[in-house]
Structure 1
Amino acid sequence: MWSIGIYVMGLVIIGMIHWTRKWSNPTCTAGRLPPGSMGLLLLGETIPFFFPSKSIDIHPSLKTRIQKYGPLFKTNLVGRPVVVSSDPDFSHLILQQEGKLVELWYMDSFVKLVGLSGSVKDGSCIIAGKIHKHLKKLIFEQLGPQNLKEKLLSGLEETVNQALSNWTTVPFVEVKHACTVMIINFTLRELFSYDPEKHREIMEEEFTDFFEGLMSLPLNISGNTYHRCLQKQKSTFMILRKMIEERQESTGEIRRSSGDLLDDIVEEMKNNSLFTKDVMSYIMFGILIATFETISTTLTLTMILLTQHPLVVQHLEKENEEILGNREDTKTRMKWKELKSMTFTMQVINESLRMGNFVPGYLRRAIKDIHVNGYTIPEGWTIMVVPSAIHFNPETYKDPLTFNPWRWKDLAGNVAAKNFIPFGGGVRSCPGVDFSKVLMSVFLHVLVTKYRWSEIKQGEIVRAPIMGFGRGYCIKVSEKLK
């Protein structure tokens, strides 16, 4: 009996050693894998990737490996083999090759939290091709330059004016939270004709917590972020489904008078059976997340950077005061041509987007073997394009950790095309790019021409891996003396 037990134990140990070696040294029959480490058994290198970093720089877990292995390396995150790219040319290629070399891929936490079992299988999204192109067109029609110019610009300015006026009535504001409220209220009202002040069903805290869960470890443990998000999932999507159902039941006259994105969504559901209530609720949720989370985080970082760089504030004031000075009536609303003339303001926004790197990585999955620089990325492996590594590349951006809006004056367009990707690239590039930049431009215009601010509490920048502000960044806002 002892000999049999020892024999069985020996087989188990041999099997574990074999499995561990296979995990640590994956093979590729079609070529040579990029250098790198697969980390611990089952966990891979997930823990270092999610470990908080209090720096605006590239996350240490990625920076260390880039320095060790180069711009292309293999690793394992959340139990999946991943090739990480900080190479601008290869990253640009991957973002342009959806449907040819790669497909969109989501983390398991995202798939489970949005609950799209019918539209997401094994992390890859089937909302692609003509369907994705059509949805993107719908969103672009609402958030693109034409509708911004004709409809949304005046509403944005009114919203920003009201928000900043409200900020002056309280001892201080936590900037991230206050920006979130401002943007969510505007988006719900303009895109879905939903009055958050009247209904108060959709709360900004729910969306913020939800986004943190999308990028967290998918461990359903009581009390952690992922668990809290799963609990909120049902109520959040019930509200969005209810909005769709109410619009479906409304009369044609009411729908025509709305003319918003929700109208377009309801119409598309009539013509395409793939556009179910669940799928369209996910689309609505994604739009809300995309509009408020990225912009509110970028605005908060911008406020921190402006406070640290008064010379930049002076140049912002000069440019925007000149716009007011050229008006016959300073009380008139902002015009589109004025917005497009705000050159330095846009340089400030681009520099904040470059340094913010809100998205830790763009994920794609290889649908065929990909050969690059003597290496092979096997079919089925995930590819993560890392914006921060591209945006902080000293070969492209001199002193990359320095906030320097003036650098954008000399950067050639072809350089920025591959080396500036805050909104992704290719067919999956964000259709709300213009909306985001216009909103930030209007916010900065109103802020520097009408108000002053002082720092009450410093915000501790934390990447885990999404950028946050730790204890919160708080300011006191007051009106400029006339």
Structure 2
Amino acid sequence: MILPGNSKLTSAIPFKVLKVRLQMLVLVTSCLVALVVISVSHRVYRWRNPKCKGKLPPGSMGIPIIGETIQFFTPYKSDVFDLSPFIKKRAARYGSLFRTSVVGQLIVVSTDPDLNHYVFQNGKLFQLWYTNSSTGILGKESIAEQQGLMHKHLRNLVLNLVGPGNLKENLLKEMDTITRMHFDKWAPLGTFDVKEESGNVILFGPRYCYSSFNMIFNYGALKLISYDESKSGRRLQECYTAMLDGIVSFPLNIPGTAFHKCMEGRKRAVNFIKETIDKRRMMETPQGDFLDLLLKEMENKDAILTEEIVLDLIFLLLFLTFESTSSAITVALKFIKENPAVLAELTNEHEAILQSRAKSDQDSGVTWKEYKSMTFTSMVINETVRLANIATLMLRKTVQDVEFKGYTIPAGWLVMVCPGSPHLNPVMYHNPLEFNPWRWEGQELHSASKNFIAFGGGARHCAGADFAKLQTALFIHHLVTKYRLAIWTIVKGGEIVRKPGLVFPNGLHIKISEKNEQ
């Protein structure tokens, strides 16, 4: 019994109880902190050391979830078309294979030509794969997402449009005429933008500046869906202007992000294509374009095409039609401007073509035979895409564990093939950073190999490669035969930024004049 007058006893007991409780609280808190530290340490350890039945390639996984995404996507300016600092630094440290994590994906980066070739030749082991952002933008039913028979069927449909056969029989004359027509528009302006990166018409004083971007996009849209931007109240190409920034990005669909801009552009473009399909179904007269072919395929009783597949296919083709080709043309002209000997050789080759024509045929346009005789031009194109590496990376997903040179690439991991690694290999290409078209002399100019994968390889070799090469050759032909390129002047732009795609933030504005001007 505690006596009321005993103050020592009444105060001592609560103090002891409080002390015990504080000690217990400290102990519990310490245990919780220890558990959190152990849990986090375990997760970090597992992140940095993923499970694998064999030996993983060396490398760093970065911080959990984010990985090395920030380092990978850091833009960099480069006047020399070298490997990205991200790839170059890690390849020097870890070797031709290394592991990393980008946008939440477990990745083995390959700068090994043997593995790159093996990946392209084994479609059953390595399936084409795109990031979540790419899939969201290009569409879940796009040709890029299709496998097996469906991919083969869609690829054959595309080849019917842009394969060598149709290029020779139908498209060459049209492409030549349109290229000449655009040069006739550009020449009086004096200045034009070879690669209109912003997608908007750029003003030089009171006159407009045209670009290869506009030319190629307009022609592609015409052949795909009979779209003529000059007669339409809507600018379809504006839907595609933000694609390059967001197509390989975090799939964060909130205003202000690159991905959101891409998704908004996709939404507008797909709505337009859907409206076009609905109108076409009500028309009795065929338009003779690619959409007619697709709608006919859909009407077959054994049809495997759906409207969603057709929408995504046209959307993707419109993007691919102009982006890679206009980039290739821009880089080619930059190289030609910086190499007078290349310009002189090109001029000789193309003027010889004109001289071989009869006087009555001087304005008849380029023939297929003439195009196939442009040997040095093909060498210039090959050297351009080798050095520029417009397709900076190609992704494949492993279906099962793959053993390679003592390392194991686990099933479900991605393999990132870097075209720049074989293209800049000093063993295969002497002075690899030098623009030297003559290095292709006597070599096969129109096929992929272990050391030349600018257009991919295997069953996924770019179906539009021949279209891009022909368009670039026609552009060069009219430029060197009709205009005084010796006084070319780059009046604006020319800067190149990788992010990781090839970007010309200020375009490439050049000044030309016709040869018959005094």
TM-score bracket, normalised by the shorter chain, equals: over 0.9
Instruction: Tell me by how many angstroms 1:158 deviates.
Output: 1.0
Q: Which moved more, 1:199-208 or 1:287-296?
A: 199-208
Q: What residue ranges of structure 1 are gaps of 5+ in the alignment? A: none
Q: Percent identity?
A: 41
Give the C-alpha shift of residue 472 in structure 1. Answer: 2.3
The structural deviation recorded for 1:410 is: 4.3
Deviation at 1:411, TM superposition (A): 4.0
Residues 166-185 of structure 1: pairs in structure 2 closer than 5 A: 166-177=185-196, 178-185=211-218
Q: Which secondary structure does the structure 2 equivalent of 1:283 belong to?
A: helix
Is it true that 1:160 corresponds to 2:205 in the alignment? Answer: no
Aligned-partner SS, 1:205: helix
> C-alpha displacement at 1:419, in angstroms?
1.1
Which of 184, 192, 209 is residue 225 of structure 2 equivalent to?
Answer: 192
Give the structure-2-normalised TM-score.
0.87
Q: Partners of 2:237 and 2:383 in 1: how far apart?
A: 27
Task: Determine whether 1:393 maps to 2:441.
Answer: no
Specify the SS of the correspondent of 2:416.
strand
1:455 paired residue among 482, 490, 498: 490
Q: Could you list the per-position Cα deviations for residues 418-467 of structure 1 after superposition, in whole angstroms to 9, with x for gaps in the alignment?
A: 11111111111111111111111111001100113321124111111001
Partner residue in 2 for 1:433: 465
Counterpart secondary structure, 1:244: helix
Match of 1:72 among 97, 122, 127: 97
Question: Aligned to 2:436, which of 382, 404, 413?
Answer: 404
Which residue pairs with 1:264 in the alignment? Answer: 293
Partner of 1:243: 276
d(CA) in 2 for partners of 1:319 and 1:191?
33
Q: Which moved more, 1:190-199 or 1:202-211?
A: 202-211
Aligned-CA RMSD value: 1.9
Show the 5 A alignment for 1:327-366. Answer: 327-328=357-358, 329-366=361-398
**Structure-2 residue corresponding to 1:63:** 88
Is contact 1:206-1:232 (8 Å) kept? yes
Structure 1 match to 2:338: 308
Is residue 352 of structure 2 the alignment partner of residue 322 of structure 1?
yes
Letter in 2 for 1:280: V
**Separation in 1, partners of 2:516, 2:342:** 21
- Tell me, what secondary structure is at the counterpart of 2:241? helix
Q: Which whole-Å CA distance do the structure 2 matches of 1:10 and 1:86 have between them? A: 42
AA aligned to 2:343 is V
Q: Could you tell me which residue of structure 2 aligns to residue 443 of structure 1?
A: 475
State the alpha-carbon separation in 2 of the partners of residues 214 and 13 from structure 1: 37
Whole-Å separation in 2 of the counterparts to 1:125 and 1:300:
26
Give 1:344 deviation, angstroms: 0.3
- Matched residue SS, 2:463: coil
User: One-letter code of the match for 1:459?
Assistant: G
Q: In structure 2, what is the equivalent of residue 41 of structure 1?
A: 64
The 2-side partners of 1:247 and 1:423 are apart by 33
Partner of 1:469: 504
8 A Cα contact 2:236 2:269, kept in partner: no
**Counterpart Cα distance in 2 of 1:412 and 1:478:** 35
AA in 2 matched with 1:140: L
Residue type at the aligned position of 1:143: V
- Change over 3 Å in CA distance of 1:416–1:109 after alignment to 2: closer
Given that residues 395 and 415 in structure 2 are in contact (C-alpha distance below 8 angstroms), is that contact kept between their aligned partners in structure 1? yes
| C-alpha distance 108-8 of structure 1, shift in aligned 2 (>3 A) | same
Moved more, 200-209 or 407-416: 407-416
Give 1:172's aligned amino acid. T
Structure 2 partner of 1:13: 37
In structure 2, which of residues 122, 131, 141 is the aligned counterpart of residue 97 of structure 1? 122
1:137/1:76 CA distance change after superposition, 3 Å: same
Instruction: Write the deviation string for residues 303-327 of structure 1: whole angstroms up to 9, x where unpaired.
Output: 1111111110010000000000000
**Bigger CA radius of gyration:** 2
User: Is the contact between residue 364 and residue 382 of structure 1 (CA under 8 Å) also seen in structure 2?
Assistant: yes
Q: What's the CA shift string for 1:237-264, capped at 9, x where partnerless?
A: 101112222222222xx22xx3321111
| Structure 1 CA distance for aligned equivalents of residues 303 and 26 of structure 2 | 64
Counterpart in the other structure of 1:279: 309
In structure 1, give the amino acid aligned to 2:122: Q
